[in-house]
Amino acid sequence: MLIRRRPDIQPSEITPREVYRQRRDLMRAGLAGAAWLAAPAAFSAKLATVPGPYKLDESPTRLKDVTSYNNYYEFGTGKYDPEENAKALKTRPWSVAVEGLCAKPKVFGIEELLKLAPLEERTYRMRCVEGWSMVIPWVGFPISALLKQVQPLGSAKYVEFVTLEDPKVMPGLRVPVLDWPYVEGLRLDEANHPLSILAVGLYGEELLPQNGAPIRLVVPWKYGFKSAKSIVKIRLVEQMPKTAWNVAAPQEYGFYSNVNPNVDHPRWSQATERRIGELTKRKTLMFNGYANEVASLYTGMDLKKLY
Ligand code: MTE
C-alpha cells in the first residue's frame, strides 16, 4: 500500500528512527516483562576492569543504541548495516603492528594488548559531525602506554592508525566512498594526552564488531570519525598523515577535527547536537566539554583555519 506523507510535515518532525525503535522496544518490554529491557545485547566476554579517571555526571546512552546505531562504512553506509554485516568479522587471532619512527617496533598480539595496562572504565561524551551524540562507558587504556613500549624517536611528530581492509568480510569496500583502508591520525602530543585511549570494550564487555572490535581509537574531544575502528597498524611518522576523510573531502574534514561549536561543517551546523535517546537538542560544548583538559594543545592556532 502506498502511503502519502502530508506535504507540510518537515523531515525534522518525523520521529528519528532510533527514538522510534526505543519507543517500540519499551512497548515490547511492557508486554514481555521488564526482564527483556534489562537483558544485555549478545556480548562476547566480560573484561576485568578498574575504575578510570574522567567520570561524567551524565547518563550513558542505552547499550542497544550504542551497538546498533553505528558508522562503519566497510560494513555499509546505513546506520543499522554494521550491526548486521559486521557479524562476519573474526577478531581472533588479531595483531597490531606498531612501527615507523621508533626504537623498538613490535607486532602486538591482541592478548598482549589486553594485558599491557590496567583496563580502565572511562565514560566519555562522543559527538559525531553529523549532529548526534552519545555518552559511552568505554573500557580501554591510554595510547601512551602502548607508545612507551616502542620508544618513539625525536623525529616522530604524528601517529597514523590504519584499520582492517578485508574484502572477504567487508562488503562496503566494494563502494569507493573512501580511499580504503580507513586511516586516521593524531599529532603525537594528542595521542599521548591522558584522555586518548585505545578502547577494547564498552559497558564492561569486549567490543562488538560494529563498534570496532577488537581495538579502536577513542579521542573524546574530536568528532567521532577520528575514532578508527578495528586497528591493524599504528605508525609513528614525521609528516601529517593523509586521513581517509580528509583525502575524500578536504574542505569538509580537516586533520584536527576538534569538536568546535563555532566552526560549522559546510553541510551541518556544529552549534547544537541531539543526544541519541533524547528529543530536544543540546548546545555543543567547545572541545566537547573537555576544554580544561585539552585547550592548551592548541594555543596560538587559528582553529577556524585548522579545523
Ligand atoms: N572506522 C572505520 N574503520 N570505518 C568507519 O567507517 N567511521 C567513523 C569512526 N570509525 C568509521 C570508523 C565514524 S564516522 C564514527 S562517527 C565512529 O567511528 C562511530 O563509532 P560508533 O559507531 O562506535 O559510535
Read off the pLDDT of residues 250-276 as tens digits, 9 standing for 90 and up: 999 999 999 999 999 999 999 999 999
Among 201, 47, 191, 195, which Cα is nearest to 125's? 195
- Which of 227, 246, 257 best tests ligand 1's pocket when mutated (most atoms within 8 Å of CB)? 227
* DSSP helix, strand, coil percent of the chain (3-state; round to 5): 25, 25, 50
Task: DSSP letter for 59, please.
Answer: P
Average pLDDT over residues 114-138: 98
**So what's the pLDDT on residue 177?**
94
Q: Does residue 38 carry a pLDDT above 80?
A: no
74 Cβ closer than 6 Å to some ligand 1 atom? yes
* Segment holding 161, helix H or strand E: strand 158-163
**So what's the pLDDT on residue 9?**
34
- Residue 246 CA to residue 187 CA, distance in Å, equals 15
**So what's the pLDDT on residue 19?**
46
225 Cβ closer than 6 Å to some ligand 1 atom? yes
Provide the pairing of β-strand 132-142 with 197-202.
antiparallel
3-state DSSP assignment of residue 227: coil
Q: Does residue 161 carry a pLDDT above 90?
A: yes
**So what's the pLDDT on residue 167?**
98
pTM of this prediction?
0.88
229 Cβ closer than 6 Å to some ligand 1 atom? yes
Which stretch of 34-43, 94-103, 161-170 has the lowest confidence by average pLDDT? 34-43
Residue-wise pLDDT for 3-21, tens only, equals: 333 333 333 333 444 444 4
List of E strands, 195-258:
197-202, 205-206, 216-218, 231-237
**So what's the pLDDT on residue 32?**
38
- Mean per-residue pLDDT of the chain: 89
161 Cβ closer than 6 Å to some ligand 1 atom? no
190 Cβ contact list (under 8 Å, min separation 6): 196, 219, 297
For residue 228, name the pLDDT band (cuts at 50, 70, 90): very high
Provide the pairing of β-strand 282-283 with 272-275.
antiparallel
Phi first, then psi, for residue 162 (nearest 5°) are -110, 135
The full set of domains in the chain, from first to last, is: 11-298 (3.90.420.10)
- Which of 74, 83, 229, 252 best tests ligand 1's pocket when mutated (most atoms within 8 Å of CB)? 229
For residue 55, name the pLDDT band (cuts at 50, 70, 90): confident
For residue 42, name the pLDDT band (cuts at 50, 70, 90): low
Label residues 116-139 b or e (16+ Cβ within 10 Å = b).
Answer: bbebbbbbbbbbbbbbbbbbbbbb
Q: Does residue 24 carry a pLDDT above 70?
A: no
260 Cβ closer than 6 Å to some ligand 1 atom? no
Q: Does residue 234 carry a pLDDT above 80?
A: yes
In the reported structure, the alpha carbon of residue 128 is separated from the centroid of ligand 1 by a whole-number distance in angstroms of 9
